[in-house]
Amino acid sequence: MSAERLAAGSPAERWTEAWPLGNGRLGAMVFGTPHRSRFQLNDDTCWTGSPASAHGRVSHASVDGPAALARVRSALAAGDVAAATAAEQDLQLGWSQAYQPLADVCVESDGDREPGTLERILDLPTATSTTTWTTPARSAREVSWVSAPDGVLVIEREVTRGAPFSGRVLLDTPHEDGTVRAGAADATITVRMPSDISREAGSKTEHALHDPAPGAAVTAVVALRLEHDGVSTGALAFAGARRIRIVVATATDFVGMRIAPHGDASRLLAEASARSAAALARGDALHARHVADHRALYDRMSLHLGTSGSASVSTAELLRGAAEDGDERRLAETVFAFGRYLTIAGSRAGSRPLNLQGIWNDKLLPPWRGNYTTNINLQMNYWPTEAVNLAECHVPLLEWLGDLAERGARTARELYGLPGWTVHHNSDIWGFSVPVGDGTFDPVWSMWPMGGAWLCRHFWDRWLFSQDPEELRDRSWPILRGAAAFVLDWLVELDDGTLGTMPSTSPENHFLVGAVRTGLTVSTTADLAMIRDLLTNVVSAAEVLGLDDPLVARAARALSRIPREHITGEGLLAEWYDDSPDAEPHHRHQSHLYGVLPGDAVVPWTEAELCRAAARSLDVRGRDTTGWSLAWRVGLRARLRDAVGAHAALRDFLAPVREPDDPGPSGQAGLYANLFCAHPPFQIDGNFGITAAILEMIVQSHGGRIAILPALPAQWPSGRVRGARVRGGAEIDLDWRHGVPTSLTLRGDIGSVHTVEMRGEVTRVAIGPSGSTDVPIR
């Protein structure tokens, strides 16, 4: 399918024009410049810091957390926002660590500086980048991929007409603390990451710190091997070559969240060198192994929106065309396929979770440190995973959360004197879980201990999609229970007899108290929606597992006292406890709509008034926002059955970025030339959020029913879906024409029963003895 590829007619001049490759751990950005082809490398374990950095800038023991928390609550009860803010700032313990680039590989060849023609393709079904070009001297092509089965980056060059190559391969690193060694056919780099990122109190200026002490930082190595059919002329230099093959492997001494890096560079060099040598020995089988592995995941699911067109259309033309002629269907198909591709490339067995940049980053000080931002962005990275039939790619997040819960238990116990576990606004590879800040930070970022509650939604959705009781019992239940134990003791009884949160924030947003701008308050809608969701799911999990646990009874009792969402006098779904006016009515976060998405408590068939208020809230938020926020709004509109609104927000998301060099965040949201999402700057969460949202427009499965074409825009009259997963453990194929379904097939466990909503009717469908049922279309 022509929509399943990215194409360009010139080399990448900017990083956001390069093609991303990856195998979960090793990422590469491919620029495709014939005379000097750059491959910018990342390893997902290359972060600043160490296990010691997870505890923050000062010891928990030096902060009397319960006393500070009591001062915050007392000040809020007295209406003294300034005193509450000052008391909260006593709880701020530092910053997460930063994701790091690792190295660059450059392939230089003489005589290719001014190609007459050039085409760059990223083929999504095979996860392969191909650059072809012609010059007066030759016609040639470069093919590259990052292999999961062999754990390496492979670069192949071949002359198809004319003179052979003469040139060299260069291996370098942006880190000052790096050592490069090169021979005729191999080269290595040894790099020690920074031990910390320093930030002066009250300042946004950051710089890296280097500590040579054992265990204080990650050591990483790159091992490169070169093979060609020409003559070696020096270190990684060649002449008279018609074929070149380069294999690159990485290794680091990152072992785990709680284990200090060992620092043994010789061991790492042996590991990476052995991996690169083994891969090189496979010869021409390398690519076939890679493609088979990738397609085993990629081919499970597809989406087609009834489009056709030339395969030669470039991605830039696709972006411009969708903006100019109003038909975004082919671009939407490509963006959807690209999101599935990025999931496979960025999150595989044994890898770390996708961060703000996925696994692709070229900056020593990336925006927002490239961390795990837990108040929407990390979660959004994994919103599509189960539904697009890539359950294996969800596992890195779930495994990391298991380790994070142990870190978060220390934070709950030592900082607040509470049971269970919690995490705040930011985290990292080491499990940072304390409130961010340096004692001067705004509480709207730092005072948010709801990260665990929100992240637990992933464990519950995992169960809903998989229906695997063993995984629910062994992996998910301890994490769900621990998060519930924390929030049950975090809740306080308010004057009206309800249970609420004090202090409370609505992530990153502010309201007005007279002329005073603040975000610190009591019982925000977001807090209560997340806590209700967590406790409801804990009660349901215990029922599934047949558990008799006193905590479950506490959760059930608490649920009866936690208020539901309410509607303001202006007809909006309220964000604040006392309906305070917004300081930023068009704010990018819409966490008060959590019950709509990613939660499932606010659904049109039982909560029509709340849904209307949520839609009105989105209207007031407006259309001008960040890339990931637009993706969330598409999904929210889809869940609210607002096809027109979802389509309008989608078109805003798919707009080409007008100023690609604008570092943001004041620049325009949209898509860069390589379809990376612009926050701006680049953040990958929007790519995954829009993938989930597009599917939500066509198939939904939350709230106990499978809804077919719930928010299909009139502009998508025909299409088909193959292999989408739905909650309840089933898989579906769907065709539609003229805006109505023409065929629907459910596959799942024999005898399982599913509630299906289609064309306004709700029916119960049982999976037949073949494991597949064709649902009648009325």
CB burial readout 24-41, b (16+ within 10 A) else e:
bbbbbbbbbbbbebbbbb
Q: Are residues 63 and 172 in the same domain?
A: no
Instruction: Quote the pLDDT of residue 338.
Output: 98
Last residue within a domain, chosen from 279, 298, 317:
298
pLDDT of residue 663: 55
Q: Give residue 56's pLDDT.
A: 81
Please choose, from the candidates 311, 204, 279, 361, the residue with its C-alpha nearest in 3D space to the C-alpha of residue 676: 361
Predicted local distance difference test score (pLDDT) of residue 665: 54
Q: Are 144 and 165 members of one domain?
A: yes
pLDDT average, residue stretch 433-443: 94
Does residue 128 register a pLDDT over 50?
yes
Neighbour-count burial for 103-127, b at 16+ CB within 10 Å, e otherwise: bbbbbbbebbeebeebbbbbbbbbb
pLDDT of residue 95: 94
How many whole angstroms separate alpha carbon 105 and alpha carbon 108? 10
| Per-residue pLDDT reduced to its tens digit, 69-96 | 999 999 999 999 999 999 999 999 999 9
Q: How confident is the model at residue 686 (pLDDT cuts 50, 70, 90)?
A: very high
Across residues 630-638, what is the average pLDDT?
98
Residue 494 lies in a domain: yes
Say yes or no: 203 and 265 in one domain. Answer: yes
| CA distance readout (Å), 769 to 585, 751, 753 | 54, 7, 12
Number of structural domains, the chain? 2
Q: Please tell me the number of Cα atoms within 13 Å of 592 on its side-chain side.
A: 33
Among 101-115, 204-218, 299-313, 738-752, the minimum mean pLDDT is found in 299-313
* Cα–Cα dist 381/354, whole Å: 7
Are 502 and 521 in a shared domain?
A: yes
Q: Is the pTM of this model over 0.75?
A: yes
Judgement on whether residues 254 and 271 belong to the same structural domain of the protein:
yes
DSSP string, 262-284: ---HHHHHHHHHHHHHHHHHTTT
Q: Write down how long the chain is.
A: 778
Domain that holds residue 210: 5-47+101-298
pLDDT of 447-477, one tens digit each?
Answer: 999 999 999 999 999 999 999 999 999 999 9
In a domain, 747, yes or no: no
Categorize the per-residue pLDDT at 667 as very low, low, confident or very high, splitting at 50, 70 and 90: low
86 and 141: one domain? no
Check whether residue 39 and residue 62 sit in a common domain: no
d(CA 298, CA 344): 8
Flag whether 684 is in a domain. Answer: no
- Measure the CA–CA gap between 632 and 726, rounded to whole angstroms: 19
Residue spans of beta strands (DSSP E) within 557-691: 670-671, 677-678
pLDDT > 90 in the chain, percent = 92
Residue 744 placed within a domain: no
Residue ranges with strand state E in 102-256: 103-109, 117-123, 128-134, 138-147, 152-162, 165-172, 178-182, 186-192, 196-199, 206-209, 219-228, 231-234, 237-241, 243-252
Specify whether 431 is located in the same domain as 506: yes
- Specify the CATH number for the domain of residue 479: 1.50.10.10
Supply the mean pLDDT for the chain: 95
Residues 165 and 18 in one domain: yes
Residue 1 has pLDDT above 50, yes or no: no
Position 297 scores a pLDDT of: 98
Query: What value, to the nearest 5°, has the Cα angle with vertex 114 and ends 110 and 118?
Result: 105
Domain boundary among 577, 611, 626: 577
pLDDT digits (tens, 9 = 90+) for 589-600: 999 999 999 999
The CATH number given to whatever domain includes residue 222 is 2.70.98.50
pLDDT for 662: 58
- For the segment 542-567, what is each residue's pLDDT rounded down to a tens digit? 999 999 999 999 999 999 999 999 99
Please indicate, yes or no, whether residues 70 and 113 belong to a single structural domain of this protein.
no
775 located within any domain: no
Q: What pLDDT score was predicted for residue 310?
A: 59
Choosing from 577, 607, 629, the residue where a domain stops is: 577
536 vs 588: CA distance, rounded Å: 28
Q: Which pLDDT band holds residue 58 (cuts at 50, 70, 90)?
A: low
Q: What is the largest CA-CA distance in the chain?
A: 84
Lowest mean pLDDT among 170-174, 176-180, 191-195, 354-358: 176-180
What does the DSSP assignment read for 291-357? HHHHHHHHTT-EEE-S----TT--HHHHHHHHHHHS--HHHHHHHHHHHHHHHHHH--TTPPPPBTT
Which range among 103-117, 328-342, 354-368 shows the weakest confidence by mean pLDDT?
A: 103-117
Instruction: Find the mean pLDDT for residues 47-55.
Output: 94
> Are 434 and 523 within one domain?
yes
> 603 lies in a domain?
no
Asked if 99 and 357 touch (Cβ cutoff 8 Å), the reply is: yes
Angle between helices 627-639 and 608-621 (to 10 degrees): 150
Peptide bond into 680 cis (omega under 30): yes
Residues 417 and 561 in one domain: yes
685-698 helix and 627-639 helix, angle to the nearest 10 degrees: 20
Query: Cα–Cα distance between 149 and 606 in angstroms, integer?
Result: 48
Distance of CA 453 to the CA centre of its chain: 18
Instruction: Give domain status of residue 466, yes or no.
Output: yes
